[in-house]
Amino acid sequence: MTEPDLPRILCPTCSSGEFNFPSDDSAQCPHCSATFPVEKGILKLLPESPGSRSLAQIFMEWDPLIHIYEGTLWRKNPLFTYGLFGISFKEEFEEVVNAAGLSESEVILDLACGPGIYSRPLAKKLKKGSVTGLDLSLPMLKYAVSHAGNEKIDNFIAVHGNALNLPFSVDVAVRNKTP
């Protein structure tokens, strides 16, 4: 695979500086010099303690849930997907791919990527582009990064951030509608 195209990340502090996803242990804004840590492949744009969290956010950081989320007990369970959406996960994923009109070189943003249920398969479809997964749940991102490594996906980028304050410039954004 060639070197993937990467998203341009705007500094959340000044909204002016722009940097690419760093490969070392931190990223620094060239405009205001704000520094953001990179830990285990995750660019952390949020503070360690995000303040008050909803019950749903707490639940999405619960380790047992993270491990069953994309399996046949939840997201890939035909009773869940057909019962809730009237479509299988595989059909849903193909609709996302078709709607995006991928040409294998896009820079894609997966909002609320969770464990990378869309991010990782999308990244596999791209020859030159990249997929950036953004999520509030650091444990979900750790799972996504770990599995991307196991699947030898090198064009997946994980960002711990807030979808209400997007610091990106991308070609395509996808959002998982499942709670």
Q: Which pLDDT tens digit goes with each residue over 123-167?
A: 999 988 889 999 989 999 999 999 999 999 999 999 998 888 777
Mean pLDDT for all residues in the chain: 83
Q: Is the pLDDT of residue 84 over 90?
A: no
Number of other residues whose CB lies within 10 A of the CB of residue 119? 30
What percentage of the chain exceeds 90 in pLDDT? 25
Q: Residue 176: its pLDDT value, please?
A: 57
Quote the pTM value. Answer: 0.83
Q: Is residue 103 within a helix (H) or strand (E), and if so which, with residue range? A: none
- Nearest alpha-carbon partner for 178 in 125, 126, 110: 110
Reduced to 3 states, what is the DSSP secondary structure of residue 27?
strand
Query: Contacts for 88-97 with beta carbons within 8 Å, 24 or more apart?
Result: 89/117, 93/118, 93/121, 96/122, 96/174, 97/122, 97/125
Provide the 8-state DSSP code for 95: H
The full set of domains in the chain, from first to last, is 8-61+102-175 (3.40.50.150)
Q: 178 or 123: which carries more pLDDT confidence?
A: 123
